[in-house]
Structure 1
């Protein structure tokens, strides 16, 4: 499977440089020969950004991340990126990582979606305290450029916004329905208010700006799309929410990387003919693909390419918000275990309802006029690349039926076993009576169970044998799944074998 971010290197020089004519800068201006620190650099966008900075000739690129490894860490190290493990909430870690840097691109954040949204303390610790630590280190080391990657949520909180722009006020902090939007808003304001602050030694100043991206997608994106695919695979993509006319923005990963680098260029104060305060100093910028679309229609071709479909049932936003609050309450009770991998993601949360069910899209005109930002990949091109990646990924993973099939088969076999062998306690008398209604005698009930188990085991062995030829990496997975589910699993493997032969 091709690296999710390696495709960034293959973009043509002409395609990129055309986007920077507005500022009349070369594509390497402010990058070549400089040292960059990317916080959250082992994340999806951070890794893509690191690779692009290397491609543009940065003297050194440092990825600063809490993790020691990620799906992109090998690519980064092989490209010469210095990967520094550290915690943005720890001053000493941040201070060490930023020492000697020329520009900081601050992407590290917490609480964007799912269970993370409910860990309020951690959201504040990373998004607010972590940003304060970055600002403190920037001043200490006299780093002149800081780009903060923010979010639409600093101005959006569930009320419709049509073709909004940067003149919109911040959404009231007390009205945010999630800790992520509130903490990111505070952090962005801290960053922008620090713009123009002189360093202690005098002479130079800190220049800051904020990039506010739409929902991010692309090959290898690890937040939105995997969660959607998992829900669809399990049969839990149960409903749509909001009217069909609702529109929101998305941004392809390469477009976002371009916007961040252009923002860093917009903070340069040593460009001949552009004396005075840099054009981007103290400014926020909305960036997107520029193609507002209904979220569910945007996802339709993606899901269909993977043999899934959108639900036909639609519920209103108020009902979806109520459902989200129920999940929020339930998961809040489980707060001590929210970080555990065994706890599944909630089906939906209130903030997520607003993101997909209420129209909010923004113009990137300011970024275009001041930074020269124009998406060089359209939504159609971006989705095509994303579909190609996920189709290949699906071919390398174990496929199977929905969770409802699992429940039906497991409960059915368990009920048959209970009816045939367990003593008459609890629901066993009812299960036994029901089994006798269909199979007439206890001998027949037990025989049906034994034969069913034998057939399942036989199908499992055949599945293992077939998978060794058509999907060897998942052979044992196919064995256990088919042993448990029988034909309901086998039909997926037979389809894969047919595709393999084709």
Structure 2
């Protein structure tokens, strides 16, 4: 398919659900660049890291909930094409919020379909997932002829709900409008794991775990491979899919993409841990060396699933950390599954415009800059060691002999010989931490003023375990200043 890059976009009104997200914002900006009359970013959030830039570029940001029909009707009224990206439950704690997953992914998609038919929207591009056909069984160079994964066998509600929603979208292809002549044409894009500068789901969680030292093992063998897709390549595929739904192209009868699903990736299957290795190394985080077999990782994932299921009422609370791993995530990184984008190439003209090397280089540059601008620090193990040691010292020096305090006091007396010496040791330790905290605050005001308070509190707790990271940053700052 060879069309102008502005075909079906120029002078059109286009809606992107989930438009304030990572992919949605990139898509909105590209639609503006290609001459759209109006681009609407429909999102539950009023703000995101990209929202101000979108508004500055003329994107109309509409706050609303895709699970509420009136919000969807308002956003889609007068649109020529809709890109339905809004979804919920892809990873982490979200996976366990079963009701919200179905409410957004299934009910929300039904509302989008109804609004398209109500308002005469001709084109709907649905962003689906590999998980509609993958559920833990190896797939090598799969294609769109693969059947949907059995509904009852999905490892998580996200894959099941996206499968239901995709089938609803594709079966709605060709349905006539309710109030005027014409038909709705639909297609589905099935992207691989998405990466790029600013990606919100996969990489931030991996980087946070690596920073805390909680990325202790790889899952599966080194021969396990899966697909990734750079954000710009996915945006290109979405635009091409929208063009593939046009019904007014001379010499072409039925829209080529109508009712069709398409796998989209960079076309370079790779082991996930090898893929993220250069990124972790670039920011001085350790890549795990120990491997965990998939059955053992699944057992661990099920333990986390059970525990977090009991924590259901608090899943949306910020104080509850993300689970280390869940069963569906074990399959994603521990079982080979990659797909051919030949169908998208032949029917849509899709070819990745950014290579994996270029995409990872841009991603590394983003994360190195992000690390320079944020508070750095040690893994969780120094945190635990210092907090436990200071607590034990305080209990031994000042608390009465109750429960474990007796043991703490015995250990303290073994080293310090007297209660008085224990109390002096505790006071000196507290004074040292306060002094290091104040020094860190003063130093940070010169070399990292945006995080000065963070450096103070972190160093107040950890002492030199935190201060050494700030001293390293101060050294880098001095080198930059000299140059």
Shared fold per TM-score greater than 0.5: yes
Is 1:27 the counterpart of 2:5? The answer is yes
Number of the residue aligned with 1:20: none
Structure 2 residues not aligned, in runs of 5+ = none
Cα distance in 2 for residues equivalent to 1:343 and 1:95: 35
Residue 42 of structure 1, aligned match among 20, 35, 39: 20
Provide Cα deviations, 1:350-373, integer angstroms capped at 9, x if missing partner: 000000000000001110111010
Number of the residue aligned with 2:120: 142
Number of the residue aligned with 1:6: none
Alignment of 1:251-290 (within 5 A): 251-274=229-252, 276-290=253-267
Number of the residue aligned with 1:17: none
Cα distance in 2 for residues equivalent to 1:127 and 1:24: 33
How far is the alpha carbon of 1:142 from its aligned partner? Answer: 1.0
Number of the residue aligned with 2:176: 198
Aligned to 2:263, the other structure's residue is in SS state: strand
Residue 31 of structure 2, aligned match among 50, 53, 59: 53
Alignment of 1:199-348 (within 5 A): 199-200=177-178, 203-274=181-252, 276-348=253-325
Provide Cα deviations, 1:328-355, integer angstroms capped at 9, x if missing partner: 0000011111111221111100000000
Number of the residue aligned with 1:359: 336
Provide Cα deviations, 1:80-130, integer angstroms capped at 9, x if missing partner: 000111111111111111000000100010100000000111111110110
**317 and 89 in structure 1: CA distance in 2 versus 1, 3 angstrom threshold:** same
Number of the residue aligned with 2:106: 128
Number of the residue aligned with 1:382: 359
How far is the alpha carbon of 1:483 from its aligned partner? Answer: 1.2
Number of the residue aligned with 2:380: 403
Provide Cα deviations, 1:242-293, integer angstroms capped at 9, x if missing partner: 011000000000000000010000000101121x211101000000011100
Residue 56 of structure 2, aligned match among 75, 78, 86: 78
Cα distance in 2 for residues equivalent to 1:209 and 1:175: 25
Cα distance in 1 for residues equivalent to 2:277 and 2:286: 7
Aligned to 1:216, the other structure's residue is in SS state: strand
Cα distance in 1 for residues equivalent to 2:339 and 2:30: 26
Residue 44 of structure 2, aligned match among 56, 66, 70: 66
Is 1:438 the counterpart of 2:419? The answer is no
Cα distance in 2 for residues equivalent to 1:43 and 1:404: 33
Cα distance in 1 for residues equivalent to 2:346 and 2:249: 17
Aligned to 1:36, the other structure's residue is in SS state: strand
Cα distance in 1 for residues equivalent to 2:464 and 2:42: 48
How far is the alpha carbon of 1:453 from its aligned partner? Answer: 1.1
Aligned to 1:53, the other structure's residue is in SS state: helix
Structure 1 residues not aligned, in runs of 5+ = 1-22
8 A Cα contact 2:118 2:179, kept in partner? no
Number of the residue aligned with 1:498: 475
> Structure 1 length normalisation: TM-score?
0.94
Number of the residue aligned with 1:7: none
Residue 457 of structure 1, aligned match among 423, 434, 438: 434
Is 1:481 the counterpart of 2:458? The answer is yes
Residue 468 of structure 1, aligned match among 445, 452, 464: 445
Cα distance in 1 for residues equivalent to 2:198 and 2:2: 33
Alignment of 1:105-124 (within 5 A): 105-124=83-102
Cα distance in 1 for residues equivalent to 2:162 and 2:432: 56
Provide Cα deviations, 1:372-405, integer angstroms capped at 9, x if missing partner: 1000101110010001011011011111111111
User: Following superposition, which runs of at least 4 residues in structure 1 exceed 3 angstroms of deviation?
Assistant: 200-203
Cα distance in 1 for residues equivalent to 2:457 and 2:159: 43
Q: How many residues align?
A: 479
Residue 67 of structure 2, aligned match among 71, 89, 106: 89
How far is the alpha carbon of 1:217 from its aligned partner? Answer: 0.5
